[in-house]
A and B are shown apart, each in its own frame.
Chain A
Amino acid sequence: MLETLQNSWLAHAVNESQVITASLSALHLIGFTLVMSSAVVTGLRMIGVTLLEVPIIDVIRPATRTMLIGLALSASTGFLLFVPRAAGAAANPIFRAKLTLLVGALLLQFAVTRRVARRSAAHSAAQRSAGAFGLALWVGVALAGCAFILWE
């Protein structure tokens, strides 16, 4: 299936144009900056080191919105960048690590963070742990993405 994807007209269109590849890559980074920006502000607020006068939920709500916009942009451009190198990327351990960390970070962000922020007491250990763990996962995604580009 990955071979088919890699030999599709879409893969050839992306692969043959450096302008398209470079533009997709730049937009991918813009999308990821939106994602990371939301993750960082959420993480630091959960840990309790910034914006303490703003209720956590008032940080998480706009951060989730911004993160979804960033995810839509980075996932769509990421898919287009993946298509021409599908087989190679899927077998690459750094790429696999990036995807694993991404899934973990998304699960934590959308399934755990909101719930912990609502249910646990302010500055509780649960909040701090969720914030720190989430932040660490997102930093891991960023570094794995960077390593994949450089060592592919």
Chain B
Amino acid sequence: MLDILHRLEATSVGTMVRESLYGFPILVGIHLMGLLFSVGMILWFDLRLLGLALGSAPVSRVYRRLIPWATAGYVVMVTTGAMLFTGFASAAYQNPFFRIKVSALILAGANALFYHLVTERGRESWDDNPVPPRRARLAGLVSIALWATVIMCGRLMAYTMY
């Protein structure tokens, strides 16, 4: 595995991330903006699920309005994140906070999938409710906790990797 990661680091993208004067800071800046837009919008959908905000609009409509923005931010965040990873692949792979971050990202995806496949069934009966049922509120709470973990681990990586 480490051999593959070292080869990844030797690619032109990996070298640019490590050695370019502006490459790394620009990528980190774009990565941060992607994260803030993506998590920022997901947070408002989660707050709607928790019944804490935007209660005058149906859950499905809030989802339709916010998720395109969250998706755009997510694409930017993942693309720049992958490029940053290329520059320090072996160090990141061995970093415990990186592993927790990736696990939390996967769990956040699984939580979203579970919401769409299971929790959302019969949504028509509670779509307009200012406070959705407990299972939907739980999905929102889990999502917030997982994204907070992703953000904190991302920041902690900077103190334990380089």
Contact = CB atoms under 8 A, between A and B. Distances in A.
Interface stretch (A24-32, A97-105, A107-115, A124-132): A24-32
B113 interface: no
Contact of A50 (B32, B56, B66): B66
Interface in B36-56: 36-37, 39-41, 43-44, 47, 52-56
A150 B56 CA distance: 42
Contacts of B32: 142-143, 146
Contacts, number: 94
Interface in A107-152: 139, 142-143, 146-147, 150-151
B77 to A, nearest CB: 12
A6 interface: no
Interface stretch (A8-16, A35-43, A85-93): A35-43
Given A26-B152, A33-B151, A143-B29, A62 B36 contact: no
B28 A146 contact: yes
Contacts of A22: 155-156, 158-160
A41 B44 contact: yes
A41 B57 CA distance: 15
A51 B48 CA distance: 12
Contact of A26 (B25, B44, B53, B155): B155
Contact of A37 (B24, B39, B55, B158): B39
Interface in B62-93: 62, 65-66, 69
B31 to A, nearest CB: 9
Interface in A42-56: 44, 50-55
Nearest to A58: B56
Interface residues of B, number: 36
A116 to B, nearest CB: 20
Contact of B29 (A52, A62, A147): A147
Interface of A: 18, 21-23, 25-27, 29-30, 33-34, 36-37, 40-41, 44, 50-55, 58-59, 62-63, 66, 139, 142-143, 146-147, 150-151
